[in-house]
Amino acid sequence: MNILKNYLAVVLVAVLMSACGGGGTKEQAASKEVAEAPAAESATAVPDSVALVIEGTDNMKFNKDELKVTEGQVVTLTLKHVGSMPKGSMGHNWVLLAAKADPAVFGAAATSAPDTDYIPQDKLDWVIAHTPVIGGGEEATITFEAPAAGYYKFICSFPGHWGVMQGDFVVQPK
Ligand SMILES: [Cu+2]
């Protein structure tokens, strides 16, 4: 009787060991799937256009401090004023400045340009694109082509706003 018990125990161990050995096949299958993945990814193309939305608030803030696009893309940007204060006291615009522009100098000059959406007309070569000034509950959409790859600044040029209402506009190479 004891001999039979021992024999069964040996058989059981042998079965367990062969079950563990089977795990190797699964691991091999998984690593094969990983190796095939990159080919599928490289087929993804950059879209020709991109739509961006940025919000301005009654607290003098943009809801984003970075926007990213790819060189050559047609950019459709919508600025939404999600507050309720009027354009005269808490107006916002969105201005994309050229890389050579100095935001502080532009912001200071903008205060004397209320009739042109706070875009100083003697500094138009510093402006890549801009929306009009809007008030609470309003929105404005503009379309422009993304400039050359690099880092740009966007600001709101309403008097006193550029210092806090600003962010990076990143243009990635194609
Ligand atoms: Cu503003």
The Å distance, Cα 114 to ligand 1 centre, comes to: 13
The Å distance, Cα 59 to ligand 1 centre, comes to: 9
Residues with CB under 5 A from ligand 1 (ion): 92, 156, 158, 161, 165
CA distance 108 to 111: 6
The Å distance, Cα 163 to ligand 1 centre, comes to: 10
Per CATH, the number for 49-172 is: 2.60.40.420
Distances in Å between the Cα of 62 and the Cα atoms of 10, 55, 84, 102, 119 are: 72, 6, 15, 20, 19
150 token code pair = 């690099």
* pLDDT of 91 over the 90 cut: yes
Q: What are phi and psi of 78, to 5 degrees?
A: -115, 125
Confidence bin at 45 (pLDDT 50/70/90): confident
Q: What is the pLDDT of residues 104-148, one digit of tens each?
A: 999 999 999 999 999 999 999 999 999 999 999 999 999 999 999
Q: Hey, where are the domains in the chain?
A: 2-42, 49-172
